[in-house]
């Protein structure tokens, strides 16, 4: 979608919004798949209600983009614009065991920064690409931990009230790769409470998690991490592997040889290739095991 209305463009510029026209989402997502649209980079959180209001007024749909590491985006000219938070100058502030982080901050860098300040707990998240906002939305986790366990407060633009609100951790439910935020809520900042730990100890934990990832995941290929959630008591990757589907492909989309729940863009995969592969594997798992696999990857197909 191309924004052309001069009044709208002037109003957005007045709100300090940076407009990048005709951006390819293939270049902004880890899968390397996706069509083109206009990208609005928001430099000031407080302008979000007004930016969304202006877009709504003109019937322009929008999506929120973090680091693009959990997204499968359709091809072609996209019928919505993308909003993304620009990175703040000071992204992380620490006071005792409380860490206040901007949602646009890089997750991995945040984990390391906390580690250097002797705050641990998030070692498992090292190697999870993307932003802190995306991790909150997805309740990202690995190796037995999830970010939601450490959340004390989230500052969020709430679509229902059209205002920026601060929610306490107890007001939000964080489940396995799912949170109680509405789809149109935008995370702006979070306060985490992290346990004190010596830097050396955290570093050892980080090394172990890094090693596990390196030995089991196709880190040099384009992917969005796990495609499916694990059903209760079962492993999606193990089932796909047992069905002999590693290497199974549709066009340029392929089940990784390394990790059967990672689907990679092995060449010029289209969104249709990836969607067909997902549907095919889901059907085979359903037929063999009776599990209806749920997507972990977020699909922007409309
Ligand atoms: C190699 C690899 C390994 C991975 N390993 C793991 C893992 O171990 N554990 C795990 O949980 N995930 C993993 N992932 C998936 C992904 O990295 C996480 O889900 C990550 O937290 C997504 O963050 P993001 O900023 O990239 O979000 P995006 O992909 O940009 O967006 C994902 C969703 O969050 C929404 N969103 C993003 N930012 C905001 C915001 N500020 N406010 C509101 N909504 C927002 C988007 O609208 C979208 O619905 C992996 C991915 C890759 C490529």
CA distance 174 to 146: 9
Q: How far apart are CA 5 and CA 7, in angstroms?
A: 6
| 62, 71, 138: residue to mutate for ligand 1 pocket, most atoms within 8 A of CB | 138
CATH topology of domain 219-293: 3.90.78
pLDDT bucket at 123, cuts 50 / 70 / 90: very high
List the domain boundaries for the chain. Answer: 6-85, 92-215, 219-293
Mean pLDDT of the chain: 97
Specify the CATH number of the domain 6-85: 3.30.43.10
Q: What is the pLDDT of residue 89?
A: 85
pTM for the full model? Answer: 0.97
User: Which amino acid residue places its CA nearest to atom 4 of ligand 1?
Assistant: 225
Measure 4 CA to ligand 1 centroid, in angstroms. 30
Q: Which fold has domain 92-215?
A: 3.30.465
Average pLDDT over residues 189-203: 98
Beta bridge partners of 189: 102, 155
Q: Report residue 213's pLDDT band, with 50, 70 and 90 as the boundaries.
A: very high
User: Can you give 233-250 as a three-state secondary structure string?
Assistant: CCCHHHHHHHCCCCCCEE
Q: How close is the Cα of 67 to the center of ligand 1, in Å?
A: 7
61-112 pLDDT, tens digit each: 999 999 999 999 999 999 999 999 999 888 999 999 999 999 999 999 999 9
Condensed to tens digits (0 to 9), the pLDDT of residues 136-180 reads 999 999 999 999 999 999 999 999 999 999 999 999 999 999 999
pLDDT surpassing 90 at residue 59: yes
């Amino acid at each position: 979608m191309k924004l052309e209305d001069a009044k709208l463009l002037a109003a957005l510029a007045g709100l300090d919004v940076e407009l990048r026209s005709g951006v390819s989402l293939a270049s902004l997502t880890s899968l390397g798949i996706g069509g083109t649209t206009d990208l609005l980079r928001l430099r000031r959180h407080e302008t979000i209600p007004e930016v969304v209001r202006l877009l709504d007024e003109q019937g322009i749909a929008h999506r929120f983009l973090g680091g693009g590491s959990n997204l499968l985006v359709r091809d072609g000219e996209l019928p919505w614009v993308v909003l993304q938070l620009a990175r703040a100058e000071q992204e992380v502030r620490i006071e005792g065991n409380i860490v206040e982080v901007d949602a646009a901050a890089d997750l991995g860098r945040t984990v390391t920064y906390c580690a250097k300040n002797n705050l641990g707990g998030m070692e498992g998240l090292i190697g999870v690409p993307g932003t802190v906002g995306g991790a909150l939305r997805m309740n990202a986790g690995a190796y037995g931990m999830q970010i939601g366990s450490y959340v004390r407060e989230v500052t969020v633009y709430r679509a229902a009230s059209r205002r920026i609100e601060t929610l306490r951790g107890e007001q939000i439910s964080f489940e396995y790769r799912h949170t109680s935020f509405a789809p149109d809520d935008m995370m702006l900042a979070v306060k985490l409470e992290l346990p004190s730990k010596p830097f050396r100890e955290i570093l050892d934990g980080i090394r172990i998690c890094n090693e596990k990832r390196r030995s089991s995941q196709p880190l040099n290929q384009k992917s969005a991490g796990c495609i499916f959630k694990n059903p209760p008591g079962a492993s999606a990757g193990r089932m796909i592997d047992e069905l002999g589907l590693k290497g199974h492909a549709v066009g340029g989309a392929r089940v990784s040889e390394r990790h059967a729940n990672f689907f990679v863009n092995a060449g010029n995969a289209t969104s249709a290739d990836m969607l067909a592969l997902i549907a095919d594997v889901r059907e085979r798992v359903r037929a063999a095991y009776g599990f209806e696999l749920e997507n972990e990857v977020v699909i922007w197909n409309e």
